[in-house]
Structure 1
């Protein structure tokens, strides 16, 4: 059973690396890649097994992307779908008592949030040019201060929402395993099922918020 919040830190070239987070991150990525391979190695007209699971996820997210972002959403669809799969897998890893979720480390969630916000500004400048910068000064020039504060708050709220919910779930599972006798598994099973649900919801919320932020940058003004 892992200790919540305790990380094995390695010092490399003057930088600190949370090894547990790195291991779990690579494990989550490997699982996502494995699922993709299993789902696509033998495609069927009528999907079944992993192909069916993956098609449900992709179709559902693709419809949300099209509705939110319009035609240009195709550019970031692979990123958003991969992001959802990675976060979902990462969240669920922490449900195993001997493992920890990469998303229970603020470094991971903040890194993901900063990636999305940076992409928002890069794509906004690419598609809209000067008009993208101009919108920070609307409706009046002094509003630039409020708009900049809002931009700074985006990665913070994205990161802390996901981090806080996943960390809380891990803590409560560990506490339940310590307090509930082994011959009374029902409370633990119920909470585990609820945590799986919360992990899925948090992955969906993070992806939807990322989609909304990216839509403001790529969506055509006449849509």
Structure 2
């Protein structure tokens, strides 16, 4: 059973126009977006010269991400700062949401993580075409030899799969373990694991974001080839 009485990994399904929707994932995704928007508004309205509380946390996250973006992607990478920061905050809040009783993480649904991974890869390939040109972009699939074409294609297809399954698997496993430990060993152990899961949520959001930056950096570097 999940935090709110639902089976962990199970979803409330609704069929609409021939498509199946996971209602719980949609609700939690909207809630995640609402939390981020409200948090950003609060941080902006309560802006102080000497940051404290929520503003201090937001500024610390932003400054650290800006540093990582410049280190990984170079000066030109700053144009992607809003995307990278939004991605990280969305992942962070999503991962933590499932630790609250009665809630689930949107990232414990493979549809969410795969959707995010595909969005990143579409941006990467679009950027690569923009910086390098369509013909050189196509040619790179056949380098250093035409025989490498299948390997390059498999490598590109594997990126969104590994990116999404890593995040999905870790978040889902964490939620399952919290429930199991709560049943087998109440109170102390589940509380310790909950604290550890908060840390894992940060790490998984950071890994997904850093890999996304790495892919984008590779597309930017195509311009110099």
Using the size of structure 2 for normalisation, the TM-score is 0.93
* Deviation (angstroms), 1:144: 1.6
Secondary structure of 1:219 counterpart:
helix
Secondary structure of 1:10 counterpart:
strand
Aligned to 2:141: 136
Cα-Cα RMSD: 1.4
* Deviation (angstroms), 1:221: 4.9
- 1:120-174 Cα distance to aligned partner (Å, 9 max, x none): 0101101111333322222222112111110000000001000000000000001
* 1:80 matched to 2:84: yes
Find the aligned partners of 2:104 and 2:148 in 1 and give their Cα distance: 42
Which of the numbers 204, 207, 215 marks the counterpart of 1:213?
215
- 1:187-209 Cα distance to aligned partner (Å, 9 max, x none): 11110001111111000000000
Could you list the structure 1 runs, at least 4 aligned residues long, displaced by more than 3 angstroms after superposition: 219-223
Aligned residue runs from structure 1 range 190-201, under 5 A: 190-201=192-203
Which of the numbers 163, 169, 191 marks the counterpart of 1:164?
169
Aligned to 1:65: 69
Find the aligned partners of 2:62 and 2:195 in 1 and give their Cα distance: 23
* Deviation (angstroms), 1:222: 4.7
Secondary structure of 2:100 counterpart:
coil
Find the aligned partners of 1:118 and 1:73 in 2 and give their Cα distance: 17
Secondary structure of 2:74 counterpart:
helix
Preserved CA contact (<8 Å) 2:94 2:105? yes
Q: Which runs of 5+ in 2 are unaligned?
A: none
- 1:54-90 Cα distance to aligned partner (Å, 9 max, x none): 1111111111111111122122111111000000100
Find the aligned partners of 1:222 and 1:119 in 2 and give their Cα distance: 18
Find the aligned partners of 1:104 and 1:158 in 2 and give their Cα distance: 13
Q: Which runs of 5+ in 1 are unaligned?
A: none
Which of the numbers 7, 11, 15 marks the counterpart of 2:11?
7
Preserved CA contact (<8 Å) 1:72 1:219? no
Find the aligned partners of 1:178 and 1:160 in 2 and give their Cα distance: 27
Preserved CA contact (<8 Å) 2:142 2:148? yes
Find the aligned partners of 1:188 and 1:121 in 2 and give their Cα distance: 43
Find the aligned partners of 2:213 and 2:161 in 1 and give their Cα distance: 16
Preserved CA contact (<8 Å) 2:131 2:223? no
Moved more, 43-52 or 96-105: 43-52
